[in-house]
A and B are shown apart, each in its own frame.
Chain A
Amino acid sequence: MRGAAPLGSLGVACGAAAAVLLPVVTANQALLSWAFLVLLYTALAQSWNLLGGFGGQVNLGHAAFFGLGALVTRMVWLGGAPVVLALAAGTGAATAAGVLIGAPSLRLRGPYFAIGTLAIAEILRITTGNVLPDVSSLPARDLAGYALTPRYYLAVFAAAVVTGGAWWLTRSRFGRGLAAVREDETAAEAIGVGAFRHKLGAFALSSGFAGMTGGIFAYYHVSFYPAFVFSPVWTFDPLVIVYLGGVGTVWGPLAGAVFFVVVQEALSLQVGEPHLLVFGLLFLVVVIAAPGGLVEALRAVRPGARAPAHMGSPPAA
């Protein structure tokens, strides 16, 4: 047991070093592209996990904040601003939207909150499709100078920051308050924890990180329709990843994203047409065999390791 913590820290350090050095040791664009997607999905899934896993609020409108961040970043960046400024604008817009949408919607509970947020995301998707119907492609001159490596490092940064945010939640006073609200809101209020304040804080944090991730996607993707970034896949893919990896855990979204991206891509390349069927079956097998997620499964095959960093039971979804 005593050796588990240093071993874990060593693993994190090795993983971080590998992520940083990957573009140095390989120029394989496919590999970098896969790694980029793993990191992007890690950041997005973890941003959902902050509210859904740690806060117990199942947000089915996460795509709204990913989309807002993507759209604002894309418009500001293609308007001529530096990408860092554009990303800040996208993140800020998504955070502000999180506060504005969270304030009324967090008055709802359980399935009503879930359906309410889903409706908001769909309204944004349809409105964006109506107002901005044209495809957003990078001009040919920009494509000539396109480089994946800076985009990759932004994804490394996002995954690290959002995972760091989750780690902070497991140790901070705010995080413990959020866990108390998740377990029993009435009891939390009774002992002096402001339930609404904690939920709104988590919502804003989750939305802001989703917006930042969306902004990085907008900087990465060469061509997409504005409505696409509000598509429900940007809600349900991270949700699946979180449940695959482990709800309310720090490392679950990373494990889930690796499985989700790498297994899907590998099956697509190796199995051909029935790849989605095979992935679905594999997903079912993993969920049945490891109901606590891949992090839990990893702990099971590594006797002596301590329990994964998470906070209590996952929300009912």
Chain B
Amino acid sequence: MRTLVVAIAVVCLLAGSPVTPYAGAQPAAIKLGAVIPLTGRYGGGGAQVQVGYQFAVDDLNARGGVPVGGRRLPLALTVLDDQSDPTKTVSQFEVLAAQGATVFLGGFGSDLHAAAAAVAEKSKIPYCGAAFALHAVHEQGFKYLFSPFEKSPELGNETYRFLNASIPAGQRPTRVAIFQERTDWGRELGNIWTARSREYGYQVVLRAEYTPLSRDLSDIILRAKSAGADAVFALPTPPDGITLIRQMKELDFSPKLIIIIRAADAVSWSQALGKDGDGVLLMPGWHHSVRFPGVAELNAKHQRRFGRPADVLVGPAYACVQIVANAIQRAGTLDHAAIRDAIAATNTTTVVGPVRFRPDGTGIVPTVIVQWQSGQQQMVWPRDLGGVPLVYPLPAWRAR
């Protein structure tokens, strides 16, 4: 009897499941189909992306929607969770394509974006995704992929431009140790940091690779220390970043400057490391203190909902929806190819600043550099967008 009850319950649950396209969808709406990792290893970042999309859709709909060919159409956002699994990313985007998505919106993490961009290309549906910096995804020749987010070449160049503009010549760190994880992004950014170092007056004294999720990084730290490195550039995952800082302290390796891309983005960085996390620089793609139209309203909305200004990925995700809406308005149609061409010709201002796209789909957007100061993320670059002074050089661990 109980098995019968369970069987009936499962059937009831599945009844009306949207195997059939358009169950419950609005017929006259711009369908934005987003697949985001809301659970799994990327769940934290995916949650920020979802907030950005939802806030932007709410705001645009509150203003009456998007003008398309003489009518104003509302935006209808569908969010599916891929559980940080690229197989599910693909199958979920297939579902959204079958449901007639006008535009795809991406999630978080290079591997998921790479899978998603290929589906978009196959389906010929325009795709806008933030929250990934791997440039290699844009080297596949994809025509439907757009990302208003800084990529490795910008991160590499801006690192040195920022250092030379912010620190007087005689006081700059000059001997750089690069700790790169053994991944495609690790090698890509490591290559760019190394290639650009000499022209800006820096010497890479160590370039060490490690396997992601390593428990012991003491070998590469000691090698950097013995090489006399006074700056560390790294792009670890959050657990590796925390391990790195803790072991640098244990081994008393105190460089004058530390750049930790990605790991230091999360609010949990300061919670895990306390004062040891201070002084670390990060390049998260956006910051809530930038002075662009709409940022104050976005921060106010985020403050009301979550008790703090907008998180670093909320802005780029919000901008994706702004870009898509702007392109659809200019295209005047919901035709995929026309929207794709309109996005490619974008020249608009969003909450991440003025946006244009290169032919490979990478966005030309401002790069921001942030520093942890007294447990808060403070923007230190660009100065003309509201950056505060850089804390430099970093004090020795025992002096903190």
Contact = CB atoms under 8 A, between A and B. Distances in A.
Given A263-B13, A300-B3, A134 B136 contact: yes
Contacts of B83: 276
Given A33-B91, A130-B211, A143 B17 contact: no
A133 B98 contact: no
Interface stretch (A5-13, A80-88, A108-116, A222-230): A222-230
Size class of the contact patch on chain B: 35 or more
A31 B19 contact: yes
Nearest to A285: B6
A28 B118 contact: no
Contacts of A30: 19, 21, 91, 94-95, 97-99
A262 B15 CA distance: 11
Contact of B91 (A34, A130, A290): A34
Contact of B5 (A29, A144, A228, A289): A289
A270 B24 CA distance: 11
Contact of A224 (B6, B98, B111): B111
B87 interface: yes
Main secondary structure of the interface of B (DSSP, over half): helix
Contacts of A33: 90-91, 94-95
B400 interface: no
B35 to A, nearest CB: 10
Nearest to B96: A30
B17 A270 contact: yes
Interface in A8-41: 28-31, 33-34, 37
Given A37-B91, A129-B212, A137-B140, A297 B81 contact: no
A224 B115 contact: yes
A29 B94 contact: yes
Contacts of B18: 266, 269-270
Contacts of A233: 85
Interface string A126-169: 10011001110111110110100000000000000000000000
Interface string B209-235: 001100000000000000000000000
Interface string A247-288: 000000000000100110111111011011000001001100
| In the complex, the 3 A-B pairs of residues with the closest C-beta atoms, listed nearest first | A30-B98, A222-B118, A266-B17
25 contacts: A28-B19, A29-B98, A30-B21, A37-B87, A126-B211, A129-B183, A130-B182, A134-B136, A134-B184, A135-B134, A140-B142, A146-B122, A217-B87, A263-B10, A265-B17, A265-B91, A266-B13, A268-B92, A269-B80, A282-B10, A282-B13, A286-B10, A289-B2, A297-B7, A301-B4
Interface of B: 2-7, 9-10, 13-14, 16-19, 21, 38-39, 79-81, 83, 85-87, 90-92, 94-95, 97-99, 110-111, 114-115, 117-119, 121-123, 134, 136-137, 140-143, 182-184, 186-187, 211-212
Given A33-B91, A34-B95, A300-B4, 18 more contacts: A30-B98, A34-B91, A129-B212, A133-B186, A135-B136, A135-B137, A135-B184, A141-B141, A144-B121, A222-B90, A223-B117, A224-B87, A266-B13, A270-B16, A272-B81, A289-B3, A289-B6, A300-B3
